[in-house]
Structure 1
Amino acid sequence: MANGSKSARFLMESRLPDAARRSAEDCFELGVAYSCGTGGMGIDLVEAHKWFNLAALKGSGEGQTMRAEIAEEMTAREIAEAQRQARACIAATQFGAA
């Protein structure tokens, strides 16, 4: 399981630079990693929703679908937090701070 965890961390960390530039595919893959607990990582629906939201904003139909699916398992507070984080990510990349 330790190797799986390291692999999952590498996957996520390798996607972060592209996701910061808001690549729809990279955002979607991060959403999948967080929603499924890829490689033994803990599931984090707030993070998953944030990344699916960013993917959807870049035109990913899969991102829209997955965002809606996991939202059914989340509280209103969790969804609001995910949306807040997505807005912060957008604002940071617009100003080159990402």
Structure 2
Amino acid sequence: MTQSWIKLVSDESSQAIAAESTEAGDLLVATCLAAAASGDSNALFDLGVAYSTGSHGVACDMIEAHKWFNLAAVGGHDEAARCRADISDEMTAREISEAQRRAREWLRSGRAAA
């Protein structure tokens, strides 16, 4: 059985859509990082959601998602702690260790408000 695909948009349109998606993801990350540097645990949580779902043009990355959920949880965000636990079930011990290392690095770098 041969599959046939219907092309719904031209190559130029699909490239434009991909570029817009990347720009939206970049904007989300930049906005959230700025807020996170000011100690906004909701922004940290939003970054965790974006990375865990691959939404807003951000590539799905469970290590980054865990890192951001972890930082939000440390900041008192209860839902972030639950999300961190949920994605931990899908991660290896090595991946969790890397996420924790990145979270510590973020805290040590001074990017997070004291």
Shorter-chain TM-score above 0.5? yes
- Aligned pairs, how many? 96
Runs of 4+ more than 3 Å apart = none
- Residue of structure 2 equivalent to 1:71: 88
Equivalent residue in structure 1 for 2:68, among 38, 41, 51: 51
**Cα deviation, residue 94, structure 1:** 7.4
User: What TM-score comes out, normalization by structure 1 length?
Assistant: 0.88
Q: CA RMSD in A?
A: 1.8
> 1-side partners of 2:47 and 2:24: how far apart?
13
Spell out, residue by residue over 1:16-50, the C-alpha distance to the aligned partner (whole angstroms, 9 max, x if none). Answer: 12212332101000000111111343200000000
Larger mean CA deviation between 32-41 and 78-87 belongs to 32-41
- Residue of structure 1 equivalent to 2:50: 33
1:81 aligns with 2:81: no
Spell out, residue by residue over 1:36-80, the C-alpha distance to the aligned partner (whole angstroms, 9 max, x if none). Answer: 111343200000000000000000001100000011111100000
Larger mean CA deviation between 33-42 and 57-66 belongs to 33-42
Greater helix share, structure number: 1
Larger Rg: 2
> 1-side partners of 2:92 and 2:32: how far apart?
27
What amino acid maps onto 2:61 in structure 1?
D
Q: Which runs of 5+ in 1 are unaligned?
A: none
- Residue of structure 1 equivalent to 2:38: 21
Tell me, yes or no, if the aligned pair for 2:62 and 2:91 is still in contact at 8 Å: yes
Higher relative contact order (CA 8 A, sep 6+): 1
- Residue of structure 1 equivalent to 2:3: none
